[in-house]
Chains A and B, each alone.
Chain A
Amino acid sequence: MPNKLREKMLFNLAHSLLREAGSVNGYGLFSFLLFFSFFIGVVVWAFRLKKNYLNHMGELPLDSGERPIHSTDSLPSTNYEPRP
């Protein structure tokens, strides 16, 4: 397929998608851009977080600080027998 045609089809598709989405007016565009920039901001922030911090946070639920004698952290929920 010639590139020109492909481009045109893509354009038509995008065009009709936008049209089908109702009259995407200034309001819709503004809201979308608002979310999009917010989203990019969050992604950049998340990816700049330090590995140490992320590991620490991931481990948080696993240690409840319960005293060994009482601790239920490693207690199995059920009396199932792991298969060999």
Chain B
Amino acid sequence: MNVDTFKYDNRIVRAFAVATVVWGIVGMLAGLLAAVQLFFPEANLNFQFITFGRIRPLHTNAVIFAFIGNGMFMGIYYSLQRLCKARMYSDFLSRFNFWGWQLIIVSAALTLPLGLTTSKEYAELEWPIDIAIAVVWVAFSINLFGTIAKRREKHMYVAIWFFIATAITIAVLHIVNSMEMPAGWFKSYSMYAGVQDALVQWWYGHNAVAFFLTTPYLGLMYYFLPKAANRPVFSYRLSIIHFWALVFLYIWAGPHHLLYSALPDWAQSLGMVFSLMLIAPSWGGMLNGLLTLRGAWDRVRQDPVLKFMVVAVTAYGMSTLEGPLLSIKTVNALSHYTDWTVAHVHVGAMGWNGFLTFSMLYYLFPRLYQTVLWSAKLANYHFWIGLLGMMFYCIPIYVAGLTEGLMWKQFNPEGFLQYPNFLETILQVLPMFKLRAVGGTLYLAGVILMVYNLYRTARAGNFEPDTEAQAASLEPVGGAHGKPGWHRLLEGRPLFFTVLTVVAILIGGIVEIIPMFLIKQNVPTLSSVKPYTPLEVLGRDVYIREGCVGCHSQMIRPFRSETERYGEYSKAGEFVYDHPFLWGSERKGPDLAREGGKYPDAWHYTHLDDPRATSPGSIMPRYGWLLTQKMDVEALPARLTALGKVGVPYPADFENGPAQKDLRAQAEIIAVNLKRGSITAEPDREIIALIAYLQRLGTDIKSAPAAADAK
């Protein structure tokens, strides 16, 4: 038996660790800015690039893909090498993965404030960046599988299974959801429309949570928790069941984001049932983590690394219990569109991902620098401030969410809405919004303590770029003259595993998505629903650019409390030309699905210029620049062509001559309408297009006497 001596690459781990910390602070600052704007809209300084609608996606992307993404790579690059007893397959690919990922983050940080967005949640980045993500992800996957192929440990530890599931599933999700038709370098339209787009998006969105925020971090939990506690995982058997049940079930649960929407009922029910079943594997995993610490709880009291881990695993248990409960239709009827969802995701992001990342950083820095942590006391302060920050963030937002949900649904004894003015319900929860910002500040303060602590640790120690290790080499499966790595990959378990995982994740997607595209019945067409006019297309693009969808839904659920407030509930057939769909997932303002015709053009003009002029106390930002910026008429032909290609039936050659004429005519009418309201406006400004779009919303079905029922 040969004993090999080889070196683990620590540089790549350190690079990702530094990136985790840096982007973590950026992402949390963006979140804080967004939180402050929710009670103090002027905090955007009337600067269009940092309005809530653009900062919110920046915050979510930065936290998910930059902070947690880098944390994930940090943990994987450290643990994978040690579990495989091999250096990473290729140092070049490691560096490519690192720099490529940072470049993607920087381009996201530039394009999102510029309003270049697809508007699909957690998939906002435009198509050139989407391609870059795919390339970097492939590089990561090759490096992952290459390392597994040259491993010196015969068996793959369960953490590696979770890494494989992550690599495969994220690739599938990203490619399917990012199918879009470019209309220029920084604009594209989703291939899918309306209900289908919604289903694909939430199949992606939910599983981005599952396979980007959950599975890799579970793999890391299964590595770092036993490591820090210095004892094996409680039950390896349970971890096997945890893995398979989780990867099989998660993929089905996406439709729980669309309960009571225009999505067909069978898909909603599937989403709900599978979400409920998810409690079992999730809690199996949580208990497995916590029970690993049996007999070591005295150390938890003293070791900050373990402290952070215990809270992380507990938060994982809490949010995976809450998630399925929120997927029960009756609970969702109350919670959806409210801040309850926001609180739910923050338990996961701050508690599970955040605290596990902190614990890994506290674990890794002393080891990378061959020393001990500079101050355990400071780390303990970080722990308590972070925990307090989380409480101050989540509890008020739970209260806010419940309050909103209950107020929206409250009827008075006469049978009318108790709070017919949406604004009332928002003003009620403003104190909670303020407390949330305090919580966020505390959480960030804890992170800054950590940065200082890690910096002092690094300064006190000596960085070891490569750690020498020894392990017995594995006999290549191919025999004496075979090419060992390749043969083992082909004949050993990794390939078998990967195929099984792919099958497990594909079943759910296939059962849900394919019928949605093939069975016509699922999206009944309404003859009165027509494509948007050229002016409305440009207006819709402004709506997308400003991130209006971050606060305004366009999906009226079939409840009396909603139809009383907003009008006729939304039908699947109304969205057949919506590339992308704009149903939204949050209401910080009223639903706009039937906004068309509710107010005169002049009201919209004044309201967009200064929301507080028409609605005192409103928390909507001012959109003064829409009044002065000219609409992008030159982009129109490319956009109409792209929309035509994805299936919007514009007449032949429409985009060249007739479209511009049509646009000018409609804009003139709006200018005249505004004049009637004593407002003088140039018909070529962006606000005209946006008003045209808003006035169109939900009006199509009113124009037809006998619209087919969408059920």
**Residues of A near any B CB (own CB < 8 A):** 20-25, 27-28, 31-32, 34-35, 38-39, 42-43, 45-47, 49, 53-62, 64-67, 70, 72, 74-83
Contacts and interface: CB of A to CB of B under 8 A. Distances in A.
Contact of A23 (B236, B241, B244, B266): B266
B469 A64 contact: yes
Given A22-B272, A60-B153, A78-B303, A54 B236 contact: yes
A78 B379 contact: yes
B270 A31 contact: yes
Given A28-B270, A77-B373, A78-B304, A49 B157 contact: no
Interface residues of B, number: 66
Interface string B326-363: 00011000000000000000000000000000000011
B471 interface: yes
Interface string B42-71: 000000000000000000000000000000
A22 B329 contact: yes
Contacts of B464: 70
7 contacts: A23-B269, A42-B241, A65-B469, A66-B82, A70-B468, A76-B372, A77-B366
Interface string B349-389: 00000000000001100110010110010010000000000
A25 B273 CA distance: 12
Contact of A38 (B236, B248, B272): B248
Given A31-B252, A75-B367, 9 more contacts: A27-B270, A55-B232, A57-B157, A60-B153, A61-B232, A62-B230, A75-B366, A77-B362, A77-B367
B526 interface: no
Given A39-B245, A79-B373, A46 B237 contact: yes
Interface string B222-238: 11001110111100111
Contacts of A46: 237-238, 240-241
B302 A83 contact: yes
Contacts of B418: none
Interface string B389-405: 00000000000000000
A66 B86 CA distance: 11
A24 B82 contact: no
Contacts of A27: 266, 270, 511
A39 B274 CA distance: 13
B679 interface: no
B54 to A, nearest CB: 37
B269 A22 contact: yes
Contacts of B366: 72, 75, 77-78
Interface in B244-288: 244-245, 248-249, 252, 265-266, 268-270, 272-274, 277
